[in-house]
Amino acid sequence: MMNFYETYECKIDDKGRLKLPSSLVKLLQSSGDKNFVVKRSVFQNCLEVYPMKPWENLMKKINGLNRFVKKNADFIRMFTAGVKNVELDSSDRILIPKDLKQFANLNKEIVISGAGELFEIWDKDAYEKVIATNEADFGKLTEEVMGEIDFEL
């Protein structure tokens, strides 16, 4: 399984073309797939980019939800709203569709941030605001999220 953990500063052009950094391209090529899914993030105004395998695994779980339960049908609709398939072109670029570019307020300067099995695409200023937290807040968050995990294998 691929894990994305690096952060890159990049530029996106007016047409929505984003040239991916060479180290990210190398990682993506190791999977042998040039197709990706781009979607709106659930919690932030950024985009999530999934290689096909992690996306298919996620969709298997989502497709297991009972669509005759209204909240499940509503969730599926909202979760998949605006989802687009994109392909890495011969110049190592992906095209961010206009509606998704507007959702994430992507202008010229952007940040690509690794997030495990996916990576996020952020407007640079928005990304800087989100990660600007003081050490005490981050320490508390770390304890809440990671404090109960048993790291023994």
Residue-range domain boundaries for the chain: 7-146
The yes or no reply on domain 7-146 and CATH 1.10.1040.10 is no
CB atoms within 10 A of CB 137: 9
Q: How many helices (H) and strands (E) does the chain have?
A: 6, 8
Q: What is the pLDDT of residue 94?
A: 93
**102-106, 109-113, 114-118, 142-146: segment of lowest average pLDDT:** 142-146
Residue with tokens 């929505």: 16
On whether the pTM is more than 0.85, the answer is yes
Ramachandran category for residue 114: left, alpha or beta (phi over 0 → left; psi -120 to 50 → alpha): beta
The CA distance from 1 to 90, in Å, is 24
- Taking 90 as the threshold, does the pLDDT of residue 98 lie above it? yes
The answer to whether 12 and 117 have CB atoms below 8 angstroms apart is: no
pLDDT in tens, 60-92: 999 999 999 999 999 999 999 999 999 999 899
Q: What is the pLDDT of residue 150?
A: 76
The CA distance from 9 to 66, in Å, is 41
Sign, CA dihedral 3-13-10-135, equals negative
CA dihedral 123, 128, 131, 133 (to 10 degrees): -150
Average pLDDT over residues 38-63: 94
Structure confidence at residue 1 as a pLDDT band (50, 70, 90): low
Structure confidence at residue 27 as a pLDDT band (50, 70, 90): confident
Q: What is the pLDDT of residue 135?
A: 63
CB atoms within 10 A of CB 4: 19
Q: What is the pLDDT of residue 134?
A: 63
